[in-house]
Structure 1
Amino acid sequence: MKIEKEVVHFEPPFAGLPDLTDLQKLYLQILQGGKSIEAVVHHFLHQGWLVNFVEFADLMQKLVAAKAVRNPSFYAYFDKMKPVSEKSLWNKIINLELPESTMGSMRTYKELPFFRSLEPQLADFLLSKATIHHVPPKSLICRQGELTRDLFVILKGTAGVYRPHQSGGKYLVATLGDHAVFGEGAFLLGQPRSADVISMSDCRILRIPCLPEIFDRYLKKEKAQGLQYRFWVQHALLNSPLFKEVPSDCFDALSHSGKFVRCGDGQVLFHEGDKGQSAYVVIQGSLVVNKNNQNINVLGQGAFLGEIALLANQGIRSASVLAQRETLMIEINQNEFYKLLAQNIFLAKYLQELAIDRLTRDQQRAA
């Protein structure tokens, strides 16, 4: 059960905490009335007030540090969020000896974002068939137009996705880093490879063979198409320094939110001064941010935008945004956005801090 949905139970001798802000005292008072984190957020939203997620998350950290709550899951969650060093998941994977292809040796990989997005039975089946490979830099992993259907996950390293340029040669359209999945179009739908994928550094890659006669039992075409889109979202988020370090449950919640929308070359997504009712994640393409009739920023794959109006600027768009070229995005409407925040308090804190920082920097650029 997610901690945000649990009613917070306090230790009997708990009499409060020192050095709380007035807002934190108010949040604490409501929590002590037998409420969950999610219920507190909705309590304020119903009254037309947005919670200060930075202060709320800080309050929860203080309560856990003071051992003021009885919920064991809160302590487990905060312990999981502590920074890891040499005992991290990735060091364990790097130190595995080749070959590795049995179910038992693959269980660690179920924590990768790709496998977390699958039903457990399907994830176990795919891992039972997977192998690990070392790929030197500048190696061609996939060739455009090929009909092979293997799926790949980058465990460690960087690869580039290249497509032909109209004037000749190839150009880089996306960069794939740790945890990224590629080859999903061929794997899920039997489509020809849409681009070349070339290792840009020393890579360690998980290769999952496609066995259509077995795999098609698990996924119908409609569901396969939906999974392909979600893998694109994971690519974008994993390629973004903003999101790849957020806790896994928050990452998963964000990658499964919203609907896909496209913005044509030169199309305006919204104007400065408009009322903001959605936030967006850029999946493919790029956008230009314009404030006071001057371009102040360019947003590419993995960028998050629109959150300023919803979290830091009283519902008003602080700048205009238009597509620099055709752009695919996820649109998260206001109600879904606040629901996502209510169920992921630390993602909410992170996004609110991002919104405040970006609003300040945009105002400085336009000055």
Structure 2
Amino acid sequence: MVSLGDVRRSASALFAQGQHLAALRLYDAIVAAAPLDFDARIRVADCALALGDPGAAKVYRAAAWYCLKSGHPLAALVCARVLEAHGADSSDLTAALVVNYGSESERLGKVAARVALPADTLPVPVPDVRLAAPADALPQALLRAEHATDQFTDYPESLHPIPLLSAMTEAAFRRVLSTLVLRRLPVGALVIREGEPGNSFFFVAAGQLTVYATDGLGRKTELAQLGEGAVFGEMALLSAQPRSATVGCLAEVDLLEVGRQSLSTLADELGAVAEALHAFTRDRLLANLMATSPLFKPFNRMQQRDLLRRFTSHDVAPGTVVINEGEEGRGLFVVLSGELDVSRRQADGTAVPLGGLRTGDVFGEISLLRNVRTSATVVAQRSATVLFLAREYVARIVEAMPEIRSYLEALAEDREIDNQLVLGEDDTPADERILI
């Protein structure tokens, strides 16, 4: 027998080659071995639809209801969109989705669950698709896919919210659902490309994607992998900046896209949508910051959250002066998003650029540790969000946590050396700079 993952990949390849009946037979084998594999059921319907069989509609509906009840609402929405595209009514599915996953639903909870897909390692008996298919292969596959979970009853009592959508008012939720565009992509397809304009964002309904950045030499660095329930692309949309990474498909992928133009049609709900989107993006940036910043590393999760509550958040417009050279240090700053420029005044009054600050960078530490006035000016180059921690609280943390003091002192020392090199103030003898 072959593993479920290998069977799925073979079926996907056959479907991409236009061998829809052969692909259907492999997806049917998965459903027979693993009835809870809703993705295989949906793919059976895809194959039947490609073969022109109207029985596909019943499978989409049955799979959608299972997904709604088992904690996979985005997959249910994929089925609804396919039905709508072929003239079928799916309003009952979208209504049930709002009732169960909207902000007012009593079924949403922190202690929630979803019925998982079967493991890719599960052995699956497969037919030899090189041989002619039985005459009843298509109707039997449709029948199995439609009724695969008829006897299943172990549904979760509490459901996970849908990222971003479940935080909206139900009115905004309904309106956004109506704008979602289904995109079904094959293995290897690129969803977004680094450097292109950010005109939309995406929900991952099914499949696996890779996120990577490319340097000037063409070398790729994987930043993350995304699966069901992930949201991506919203930062470029909000900031109106180019995409910072490329996202490609590692498997067949179902995405739900929200475009800038679609959002503009939600005039009366735009405020609620924008508020939810900004809150979602901020929460994700904060989570990334806690996971990656050395400033938060010495603390456990509860301490990290307590520390974050001590920070105040400030949205700054391009050109805003965050720190003015020569003023008394007010506290410690962390860049949550955006870009800022750092400069120092020369004796003749001209400003010399010292560098830039990006997401996750900490600044303001030199004046606090040395107890001197600020030695540079920091200005927002583009729209940015900056976290601020007052100097009194910084002093308490530095005193209580030697690791934080060590981190800030090392940061200050490195920054002062870099500044001296930029300004030509390095008085180290030339022979001591030679590396042998």
Select the structure that is richer in helix: 2
More relative contact order, 1 or 2 (CA 8 Å, 6+ apart)? 1
Q: Which of 1 and 2 has greater Rg?
A: 2
With the shorter chain as reference, the TM-score category is 0.3 to 0.5
With normalisation by structure 2, the TM-score equals 0.37
With normalisation by structure 1, the TM-score equals 0.43
